Structure 1
Amino acid sequence: MASMKAQSSYEAPYSSTAPSTSHGVPQYMGDLPVQVNPNTGQQYVQVPRRGPPRLKGYLHLFDPHTVFKWQFPNFYRKPGYGYQKLGTYRHLDYFDREWVGDYDDRYISACDGRVSKLVVQAVDDIYDNTLNSTWRRTFIRNMAPFYLRLANWPLNHIDYARNGGPTGEDWPLIIGKWFLATIAITFVIGTPRSIEVPFRRGGMYDPLPYVYTGYPKVARNALEMENSRGDRLNETNPVAQRILRPRYLCFLRGNGQPAMTMNVEEWITQYKAERNLSYVFVAYTAEQFQSAEDLRVLHQMADAAARNAGVEAYWIGCSCMPDNENLEEDVYRICDVIRGAHSLAIAVGRPPNDMQGITTTDMMLQQWGRRIWTFPEVLLSPAGKEIRVYTRGADLMSPTLVPKNQFAARVWKQDAHVARQLVDHFEGNLILSQLELVTLALECLHNRETTQYLRGDHSYALMGLLRIRPKIDPTDSAFQAFARLSLANGSDQLLERLICVLPKSPNQPWHTMDDAWDTKLWEILPQECSIAGVGQDDTIILDGCRAANIRWKSFAPVAYNRIFSWKRWIAQRMLHLGGYVFWISIVLCAYMPLVGIPLFIYSLILMGLSPWLLRMLYLGKFWGTQGWFFGFEGYMDIDTIERQIFGGRLGRMKWTPHSSPLSRHHKNEHGECIPDDPTSDPATKALVESAKHAQPGEQRIFTIVDTGTMTATLIQAARPPICFLLAGAEGGMQRAIGCSYDWTTGTLYRETVIRLGTPVLDMMNRVPKVKIGFKRSMHPVKSLGEVGEAKGQQVC
């Protein structure tokens, strides 16, 4: 079975997204055929036997496209695209140093706090063959200790991933390389000295030296507001007052006479009938009633609704909101009018110029239900009362009665299951939490149509369902209106949870709260962080996060702790003494053969064992490692990643089983969760291949190596995230937001979200307030030859 496996291919775990075979003909994933195991039915990728991947490393110095610079990394490749020079921008860093220059990709250096040009290490296929980035690229360097690389050299051509160990054809090469390695080790190892690097920053991850120095549009604390705005201390997010009764109502008169529209306060003063004031709320849509004749008929229907209900007035939008200075406030306070109504009546009719064949009451009612402002009218209508539907041209004395708890199934068919939960909440049958209420209501409102009056209309419609309502700000974007509403109501830290969501699609709007792991918003628990304010440009000010920098320019030597081992101690002494014994034995052989010859034989044995002894020095379990987040563009198998950092395949590094949507795992015979190589899924393998040719702004594949937990994670992002922010927890893991940095505005933008083990909390420092956005817009780009490289300088 083992030999059969060695000669065939690597069988990947089954994936439902993998292509299937048809009539025995294999489908292809990228350039690799997908086969089906006839015994198990599992799909796998037929990979040619080529041995472990080899990186060119410093051989890239001979590439014609490799450029030299004085700062590390000294060799890089220029990007294929550059940003158009639309202006000069300024950045103030953590230490109050100013940088002024053209727009380009930069990161915050953990070493000196400067905003430095982003250089990303990339696998050979990407570094050599693509010019599709706006950032500089460099090749991957092997940063492992030289001694360990030398000790592992005899075995580094063995493909453990495919064959599980050396095969018969590997041994001749192993023996030849072993002989050369023993000679080299004899010359390089002579004096006992430590080859282990010290811990930095107590073993913690690199910090993020970020500072936010701007003013928010809305702050929780009034002292943080810009004084020039003229906000008083109690009006940073001013709240609209609830109205106790409508300003105007249409009062009934004698039969056959049209109702009289009158100011309510004047009517109460004139008729002294405040206790008896009761009215019907008449809902309609302008799609169905537009002309003067339509409005005349609409009033007839409203009059009949009020008389049938036994009240003396009705409220209708076309007449009870006079065009004056309070019109805007009236529009967004209709919710109070509904709450105070005796009952709800809906007037429907066939729309003018009907092209859709809307002829029945149900069809008219469904058209009415597709409008955004009609949704809260039903939810807020008096509980326990049937909704009366009046159809134009039908008998107004016999309206259609629709029970409120059946309204969702009959009218809101597109989201009936979600809308029914909201109806039950307002009926008092199934009470939702504040977070559930806002989440579900926002989903339903964005499913509906509106003729936009203000950009925040969806949030203002939602506002009517909540207790506290901020005053309308015409300058608000849709997100800002929602954020102000969330701040005013608390909303169970909705924004803190929302920023931790990984969108299912890169183009998913902020109000769509679908998570890539299908997690509900209320399952994400904010991690000791809170919203301090709302930014000027669809951003939030987040306080209390833990953060860590990501190193993209290269790997680095990693410090680690191990317990003492006599085997390693003896191996170290034998290695250090081997060279001296060899030269001493040669001298003794000339004068004291009986002593020299045994020593000479002993020294040869030590030399022959030197690669094995040197490798033994590095074996043993790590009880603690220096925290690093390394990143590179593209994909490498886990053994190659470990060789670049630790010098050889030691079996310490693993893929994460469920940190990313691209992570894969399976259950072994003992019921244990075993992480798999993400590219064992043919769909992921194809994604890796296609991402090599992504254009600016499109999704690419990056790999994040976490030495704190000794794991690697494959991620998708449009730009390399320069840091991780821990802002929430879910499912026993921490949600880490991978952010790129727009230095021109000092804003961190969410590029991806991964899940990390909870122990990383203790290895990260807190950061002060950070300005973070949900989606970064793409700055205009052209080929680098057209726009040239970005330029800038340190001012002070």
Structure 2
Amino acid sequence: MHSNNAQASVYEVGPYAAASPYNGDAAVAERNPDQWVVPQNEPVYPKGYAHIFSPWTTVKWAFPSFYRKPGLGYQKLGHYRHRDVFGREWTGEYDDRYISSWDGKVSKLVVQAVDDIYENNTGSTYRRTFIRNVSPLFMRLANWPFSHIDYTKNDGKPTSDDYPLLCLKWFVTSCVISLVISSPSPAQIDARNGGNYDPVPYQYYGYAKVSKNLLEMDRPRGHGLKQANPVAERVLRTRYLCFLREKGTPAMPMKVDDWISQYKSEHNLSYIFVAYTAEQFNTQEDFRDLHQMADVAARNAGVTAYWVGCSCMPDDQIEEDVYRICDVIRGAHSLTIAVGCPPSNAYEINTADLMLQQWGRRVWTFPEVLLAPAGKEISVYVRGSDLNPLLIAKNQFAARVWQGDAHVARQLIDHYEGNLILSQLELVTLALECLHNRDTTQYLPGDHSYALMGLLRVRPQVDPTDSAFQAFARLSLANGSDQLLERLVCVLPKNPDQPWSWHTMDDAYGAKLWDILPQEVGIAGVGEDDSIILDGCRAANVRWKSFTPVANTRQPTWKRTLANLMLRLLLPVFTMAIILLSLPNVRTRLIGTLLIIYSIILMVLSPWLLRMLYLGKFWGQQCWFFGFEGYMDIEAIETQIFGGRLGRMQWTAAASPLSRHRRNEHGECIPYDPTQDPAVAALVQKAKKAGPGEQRIFTLVDTGNMTATLFQAERPPTCFLMAGSEGGMKRIIGCSYDWTSGTMYRETVLRIGTEFEDMMTRVGRVKIGFNRKQHPVAPLAQVGEAIGQEMK
């Protein structure tokens, strides 16, 4: 374990009070980095078992025996079935459940919450219970005499004001210790799971819509499918072209194969690609003008034909041709753009630059420029002009036309021009950003992915049944060398209120997609419901229903051995002294008197000996993920688990977007209470009244590294999956569990130290979803609690 200093909620005071590092004046804070003191108010400790007398507390037989029913219940829309890792089946109505690491069953979710959230239960769909102090009795006795002392003042030593209460509590503790210290009950407990985090006993039994391996596809034997994710073949030459004839005679659309058969040659088959947008050309008259412009452009370029979408994509194969235009562009002599005033010119688009910018706002026009032949200028023809082309160098196109994202688009142009080669991961990331900044009239849900597909070497066949995510996921599977999707699942969107989207790559931690390394994790398939099958994760369950005593080890010393012997002999020695005093022999009574004096001295010293025995630094401890809803001071958290404020626990410095840290006078990174940031404090207050679909505040306590992390999520994540690494830390995906479909839904992404990787066990293939739909809810009094039963 790392040695930690005593922690407390702290605030700045004095002349620099307004200069917090998160108050905008970093310069002042840097001049006075250690101007921090303890607040006037002490940490607020939970009421604990006092809640059992509350009128809303319900009693049941199983642990936790005391809980509060949720304020909301799910509407009963049907019965669902779940099969656990041991093959047992559970059927019942929809409710919040998790996979128990104790027996592998799906158990009803019960979440411990701080007092103000437990007492305001109207917006919850899961049961809540109050926070209990679980520290061993010996630990509480050792710390109780000193519990009122502020360790951040007077170098942690008692002041004169502390001594009267300290002496009284010391006397009471001495008497109690004398009665309980000789009992056979140990203060230490055995380690669980070999000291590792609780495993996640999960197994996915379903099929993937698309699997990496053909043998795993849901296809009958003998089916003609030859690939799990069929790849579209590249078009070596376009099927149709408009061939030039005598000047003044319109070009003739013709099959390329027929032209080759007629002229017995392919050497002179050179064409330009004419790009336009339906916003500017969409009637027969518009198309006549478009052909005239294309004819002039082709003659100026010295080619024999041109390709234009309105005539070179017959209706019988238009769907196939639309998604292969990228190959047509690659084979073209040069690119020509035809622009004109739109029919409904509401925005007064009347200059060539404005027409070009309107053309450039369309999704399908973006790859046309990128894939245009390198080193050649792009010619622009304006309808209604003298048809003298406006020539634009390809490397100047972004600054002139794509002004909204020119800095990103220029990188892509440089890549295709060969000036600045991007990795495939960088290419896809930047291209997705640009494509989703543009407009489209949707033909298929996966149009953005199909537009991106034209920029990559391997292109899956178009599937009209794909959602937007499935189209992107199949594209990622086909081009899997850079593990694009594996990295993307580890990204936490900056705005937690926005629904998760596969093209959202703005990371809350400020990392780029290529900064995330999905080591030993791979996508095994794409699910039917916008999910993926992820294999190779390490996983750990979160215990939400309560804290529990934590097994730990300390360095054995002769002082602790002597203290243990003296304390264990206290009651036997005192008993023997009483017996000897009752005997008539004078020598025996003298021995008894000496033993009584020794026992009294030992009794007075017993609190100090107990602290020597059970306090001190941990050299190792059981790894647990504890969770509770809401916020508690770090001292209150430590007291509930270990029995007192010992300085063993601290907040994380950079494990969550809500984590906060500062530099001390020695240049060290010091984490501090996140609620010192007014923005975080406001989130904590707002979350107290959160309802379904809204962000709540949770705290994750990790006893492996003795830290607490404040984070936001819509639902309490019942487990964490370690799926990647970034910035010297591992990224763990916090997932809630939809037992009706066997899907883990991502709720948040946190960061944990790499040294704890081996403390988590691997789990098999996990079905992970990213946008969990909100099941309809109503007041619990109307719908009642869900019921179910285990099927043998």
Which category describes the TM-score, using the shorter chain as reference length?
over 0.9
CA deviation vs aligned residue, 1:544-601 (integer Å, no higher than 9, x gap): 1111111111111111122211111111111122223334444555645644444333
Query: 778-787 or 722-731: which moved more?
Result: 778-787
1:773 maps onto 2:769 in alignment: yes
* Matched-pair identity in %: 69
Q: In 2, distance between residues paired with 1:15 and 1:510?
A: 36
Contact 1:52 1:157 in 2 (8 A): no
Tell me whether 1:423 sits opposite 2:408 in the alignment: no
Q: Match for 1:631 among 616, 627, 630?
A: 627
Aligned pair partner of 1:377 in 360, 368, 387: 368
The answer to whether the 8 Å contact 1:13/1:681 transfers is no
Superposition RMSD in Å: 2.2
8 Å Cα contact 2:21/2:662 also seen in 1: no
The CA deviation string for residues 40-82 of structure 1, in whole angstroms up to 9 with x for no partner, is 69998995x3333222111111111110111111110001111
3-state secondary structure, aligned to 1:149: helix
What are the equivalent positions in structure 2 for 1:309-458 lying under 5 Å apart?
A: 309-324=301-316, 326-396=317-387, 398-458=388-448
- Partner AA of 2:746 in structure 1: R
Pick aligned residue for 1:305 from 297, 302, 310: 297
* 2:664 corresponds to which of 644, 656, 668: 668
Equivalent residue number for residue 490 of structure 2: 500
Cα gap change, 1:531 to 1:410, in 2 (>3 Å): same
Tell me what 1:757 maps to.
753
- Provide the secondary structure at the position in 2 that maps to 1:527: coil
C-alpha separation between the residues in 1 aligned to 2:276 and 2:152?
A: 67
Match of residue 218, structure 2, among 226, 239, 242: 226
Asked if 1 retains the 8 angstrom alpha-carbon contact of 2:120 and 2:689, the reply is no
The Cα shift of 1:164 comes to: 6.3
| Aligned residue identity for 1:443 | E
Deviation at 1:447? 0.6
What secondary structure is seen at the aligned counterpart in 1 of 2:119?
Answer: helix
Structure 2 CA distance for aligned equivalents of residues 437 and 613 of structure 1: 65
One-letter amino acid of the structure 1 residue matched with residue 528 of structure 2: Q
Is 1:556 the equivalent of 2:552?
Answer: no
Cα distance between partner residues in 2 of 1:352 and 1:773: 44
Given candidates 93, 98, 108, the residue that maps to 2:99 is 108
Match of 1:734 among 730, 733, 742: 730
Comparing 465-474 with 189-198, greater Cα deviation is found at 189-198
CA distance in 2, matches of 1:487, 1:630: 36
Distance 2:777 2:124 in 1: 10
1:469–1:407 CA distance, 2 compared to 1 (3 A): same
Range with bigger deviation, 119-128 or 648-657: 648-657
Cα distance in 2, alignment partners of residues 791 and 654 from structure 1: 41
Give 1:715 shift. 1.1
Match of 2:203 in 1: 211
Q: What is the CA distance between 1:13 and its match in structure 2?
A: 9.4
1:539 corresponds to 2:539: no
Aligned-pair CA distance for 1:439: 0.9
Matched with 2:4 is none
User: Which of 612, 616, 619 is the equivalent residue of 2:612?
Assistant: 616
**Matched AA of 1:318:** C
What is the deviation of 1:172? 2.1
Structure 1 residue runs of 5 or longer lacking an equivalent are 1-5, 21-35
**1:257 aligned residue (249, 255, 271):** 249
Q: Distance in 2 between matches of 1:751 and 1:202?
A: 28
Relative to 1, partners in 2 of residues 1:744 and 1:313: Cα closer, same or farther, differing over 3 Å?
Answer: same
Q: Aligned pair 1:570/2:562, yes or no? A: yes
Tell me whether 1:279 sits opposite 2:265 in the alignment. Answer: no
Give the AA of the match of 1:150: L
Structure 1 match to 2:5: none
Q: Give the Cα–Cα distance (whole angstroms) in 1 for the partners of residues 18 and 791 of structure 2.
A: 56
1:530 aligns with 2:514: no
Given that 1:344 and 1:387 are in contact with CA atoms closer than 8 Å, whether structure 2 keeps it comes out as yes
Report the secondary structure of 1:450's partner residue. Answer: coil
Paired position in structure 2 for 1:188: 180
Could you tell me how far apart the structure 2 residues matched to 1:744 and 1:639 are? 39
Alignment partner, residue 267 of structure 1: 259
Structure 2 residue aligned with 1:704: 700
Amino acid aligned to 2:628: F
In the alignment, structure 2 segments of 5+ residues that lack a partner are 1-7
- The match for 1:471 among 451, 454, 461 is 461
1:203-252: per-residue Cα shift (whole Å, max 9, x none)? Answer: 11111000010010000001111025985452221111111111111111
In the aligned structure 2, how far is the partner of 1:327 from the partner of 1:645? 67
1:175 alignment partner, SS class: helix
Report the AA paired with residue 643 of structure 1.
T
Preserved contact between residue 626 and residue 708 of structure 1 (Cα < 8 Å): yes
1:663-695 per-residue CA deviation (whole Å, 9 max, x = no partner) reads: 111122222111111122222122111111111
Match of residue 596, structure 2, among 595, 600, 606: 600
In structure 1, the residue matched to 2:118 is: 127
Specify whether residues 632 and 496 from structure 1 end up closer, same or farther in structure 2 by C-alpha distance, changes over 3 A only: same
Aligned equivalents of 1:13 and 1:614: distance in 2?
A: 44
Aligned residue identity for 1:260: M
Aligned residue type for 1:172:
P
Quick check: 1:120–1:632 contact (8 Å CA) kept in 2? yes
1:59 and 2:50 aligned: yes
Give the distance between the partners of 1:190 and 1:586, measured in 2 at CA: 17
Checking the alignment, whether the CA contact within 8 Å between 2:33 and 2:665 is kept in structure 1 is: no
8 Å CA contact 2:99–2:200 kept in 1: the answer is yes
Is this contact kept in 2: 1:404–1:423, CA < 8 A?
yes
Provide the C-alpha distance between the structure 2 equivalents of 1:408 and 1:190, rounded to a whole number of angstroms. 81
Q: Where in structure 1 do 4 or more consecutive aligned residues deviate above 6 Å?
A: 36-39, 41-46
- Give the Å deviation of 1:337: 0.4
Asked if the contact 2:20–2:29 (Cα under 8 Å) also holds between the matched residues in 1, the reply is no
Q: Which residue, 561, 573, 582 being the options, matches 1:581?
A: 573
Shift of the alpha carbon at 1:179? 1.3
